[in-house]
Structure 1
Amino acid sequence: MNSRTISVCFVRAMLERFDVPHCSRDDLLSKAGISPNAVNEGKSRISPAQFSQLSRLAMRSSEDESCGHFPRKMKLGTFQIMAQYVAEAQDLRTAIERNIAFFSLFEIGHSLQCEIDGKFVRYQMRPDPEYPQSPWVFEQHLMLTHRFLSWLVGTPIPLLSVNCHYPPPAHRDEYHYLFFCPTRFDGSVSEFIFEQRALDLPIIKTPEELDSLIRQMPYNLLFMPTRQKSYTEQIRRYIKKSLPKNPSYEQIAASLGLTPQTLRRRLREEGCDYRQIRNELLRDTAIEFLQQTEHSVQEISYQLGFSEPSAFIRSFRNWTGVPPNHYRRQQESISPP
């Protein structure tokens, strides 16, 4: 079981401009197996399968792959055509050039460009002041573009940093799992930065592999296997495997063959810290138990290493805004998609 969860802040952002007469927002959520009440509660979370299903339903219902976020509709099938065009490139450099050229044919409310700055490459989104767009547009495009390009070359393209032109959003902590690198805000453009030498990486995916990717979109780009080598994911796996024991930070560093100081530095490079990783792993595992098992709150609290159920309940409320039993009832009130 993959215990990663997704904040409902992304659900609210995606549906912010969803306006389809024959399909209400609540109907759409229910079809995806998501409680409308949960979406209205700030800290609630959903599974990647639910989020992927919602994305597909929203696009089909609106007949718009941008879900209303672009000045004009993005017809269904646009991403597939773009992906096929980009995947025919010989290397990453040409793939990026094709990606930018493709989107320049459409009114998307921003412009794309790629700048080479010494040894670094900047893939940039420049906002159009005449068509303000929410952070959702920029964070999703940067994330999906980076992950799609990484998939094409068969290896993660390490990002040095991500810069955003807007102020820090309330969900800024979620950005760690979008990009696995430090993120800065209030810049002039939104961009991701990587080393120039990556531009020569060859495109290795076949048309058959691309067809498989497109059929599973967006789920397979939300959780790419290539990210499993990050220190964040290695720590998550180690903690989960150790439950209900609570390994020390020093034990985890030793298991990775690193000193505590070196591991701390590596995590900073990924834009995260150990405490955040541990809390998020416990939160996501608790949600997994509540959704997929009939274990009592007391049983779950002990399986997660809490000494008392009351301590678990306090932590869960802090993580999600509601107590565990309330969260479980929300999930049970919705029929599976």
Structure 2
Amino acid sequence: MFDVSHKPDSARAAVAQATLRVANPDTIRIIRGEAKSPKGNVIEAARVSGIIAAKRTSDILPYCHVIPIDFVRIDFSFPDKNDDLVLIDCEVKSVWKTGVEMEALTGATIAALTVYDMVKPADDSMQIGSIKLLHKRGGLSDAISQTSSSIGLHEKTSKKILEVAVLVMSDSRSEQEDRSGRVIVDKLQLSPWKNSLKIVYYKVIPDEKNLIELELRRLCDEKKVDLILTSGGTGIGPRDVTPEATMEVIDTEMKGISEALRAHGQRRTPASMLSRSVAGIRRETIIVNLPGSIRAASESLDVLFPTIFHAFDVLRGYGHRIAHEGGDNPHV
């Protein structure tokens, strides 16, 4: 069973379809409810069984996660040109860490089996045909698809790769001893969007407010990097001054990013409530404070990417259109 505990919740949806072929036209009439059924209302029984099956998928497929199902819909259609065909669609939605395609496939399959069971006393020549996933939305694969075609890589922009700087704040660690910054670098270089990123700078500096400010300004104004990820100095200790230094540098604060990082961390580590990390924009550079903890820094990247790519399209004047091709987002 895959470990999905590090993933953030996101809206997921999937639609699967099962086909049922019937040789006898009278059988179609029974399924439609136009003729008497041996066991009662076929469509309603199949609809209920399909919904139950989608909700109980993890009970019969051992490697499926137990997930909260927010919506299940079972639809039946009878193509006009094919009097011998019944199409059964199952749509499933959830806001969770993993997809719902198996739930949709299971719902469609069990609904088809229920139709067969309900009608077989009158016609046992029916055949359950293809069972396939029509489409799914949400999660990593959807994000990769959007990233490759748009986010941060808009065809009208000359900058095809985001340049990233990693800045670690620590009084006690050298670059040879640093681990949190290295985790950030390594994770980005191995990520699904590694071809859209380039690590152009990595440095460990002391927890000195003036020095942090100077380094951030230089990276923004001289090197003109796209994204600065800082690590460390975001707590409540006397030497934790990264948020103060960042606030002095940025022009616009992006509170949603820091709120999302804290919310994600809070569900995993109670001490996340002590984080004072901030995020913001200076000219065309986005700065994000990450925790100094190795685990917390790594988990923060799971929240930050790939959504951060879309911020650059908006920052560069391309608006929200690209990220909304699958539907309107009322929260942006």
If the TM-score is normalised by the length of the shorter chain, which range does it land in?
A: under 0.3
Q: If each structure's strand is expressed as a fraction of its own residues, which one has the higher value?
A: 2
Q: What is the TM-score normalised by the length of structure 2?
A: 0.28
Larger Rg: 2
